[in-house]
Structures are given as structure tokens and as C-alpha cells.
Amino acid sequence: MTPDQKIEQARLIKEGTGYECTQFARDVEGADVQSLQARVLEVSDRFACYQFARDVPGANIKALQKRVLEIGIGKQCYLFAREVPGADIKALEQRVLEIGTADDCRKFARHIVPCADTEALQKRVLEIGSGWDCCEFAYSVPNADIAALQARVLEIGDSDDCRWFAKHVYGADKKALQARARALFTEERYQYSPRF
């Protein structure tokens, strides 16, 4: 490490952002990984914790994951599970189920295979997701329960959701979805027509 890099490292340890510390630890040979990681944990930057764990050799995965579980959102939990070797998949999945969006649940179920609990993630999508979220889950997640997702689309989806599900999801009941789409389209058309 050069004298200028030593000065920069001292500054980062004292007042650096999570991003700056991560870049320095990753790019500078001989960097004080533990001190830079301590700064990342101190400034509580959830994305930097994930990046540090992913990009910096010698990072303390457990400590960074703990911080992500405390302050992260579903997206960081999903990314941590997907891209950080040694991550605790079940703990991260549990956090996604607690605080994640329907899209976070879908991504976790789709990309963290075979470790993901597809059934639990789908249940959460059915609880909090839109008709479109159900369409995406049915289309992109292996072993999704097509009948349950279709039932939810028929219940809460709009005409576009019903048409899309019928066209793109293998095993869909096309007749039921098309009939619902026609009925919804008629309702939607009259709902937006001007009143005299």
C-alpha cells in the first residue's frame, strides 16, 4: 500500500461511506479489511454491507449478514442469499417473508432454488401481492401452484392480468380467465366513461 493509500484508508476508517470503504477494501491490496468492515457496519449502509460481503475477500459474512437482517429491506436479503457464498439462506428467507415485497418473494423463490421454500413464499405473494404479482410468480417460479395463483388473479386481477395469465402461464384455465377478462373489461370501460 502506498503512503497516499494509507492516508486515504485512515480517512475512510474515520469518516468514509459504506460504498467508499467497500471499494477501497476490494481494490487496494493490503487494505485493513477488518477496520474498513467495522466502518461499514457502523454507518449502517444496508447495501454496502451486502456489497462488502460479496466483493471483499476476508469479509466477516456472519457479521455483515446480521446487519443486513437488522436494517436491510427484502431486496438486500434476497441479493445476499443469492450472491454471497456462505449466507444463511433460511434466515434471509425468513426476513424476506416478514418485510419483503411480493416481488422480493418471487425473486427469492425463482433464484434461490432448491433451497427456497416456494410454498411459503407463494403464500406470502397470495397475501400481499397484486394480480400482476401472481402472474409473474406463476410464470417464473418452478413448482408454483398455478391453480391457487389463478384463483387469486380471478379474484383481484384486472382484465390485463387475466388475459396475460391465460396467454402465458402453462396449465391456466384459459376459458375462465378470458371470460373474467371480458367481464372486467366491460366494467373498466364503463367505470371510466364520462357521466352526463
Mean pLDDT of the chain, nearest integer: 92
Q: For residue 110, what pLDDT is reported?
A: 94
Decide if 71 contacts 46 (C-beta within 8 A).
Answer: yes
Query: In which band, very low, low, confident or very high, does the pLDDT at 185 lie, cut at 50, 70 and 90?
Result: confident
User: pTM for this structure?
Assistant: 0.86
Residue 31, phi then psi, degrees to nearest 5: -65, 150
Query: In which band, very low, low, confident or very high, does the pLDDT at 196 lie, cut at 50, 70 and 90?
Result: very low
Decide if 169 contacts 135 (C-beta within 8 A).
Answer: yes
Residues with Cβ within 8 Å of 3's Cβ and at least 6 positions away in sequence, in order, are: none
Going from N- to C-terminal start, the domains of the chain cover 1-91, 101-196
Q: How far apart are CA 138 and CA 48, in angstroms?
A: 32
Residues with Cβ within 8 Å of 88's Cβ and at least 6 positions away in sequence, in order, are: 62, 65
Per-residue pLDDT at 91 exceeds 50:
yes
Start-end of H helices in the chain: 3-15, 18-27, 33-43, 46-55, 61-71, 74-83, 89-99, 102-111, 118-128, 131-140, 146-156, 159-168, 174-191
Q: For residue 192, what pLDDT is reported?
A: 52
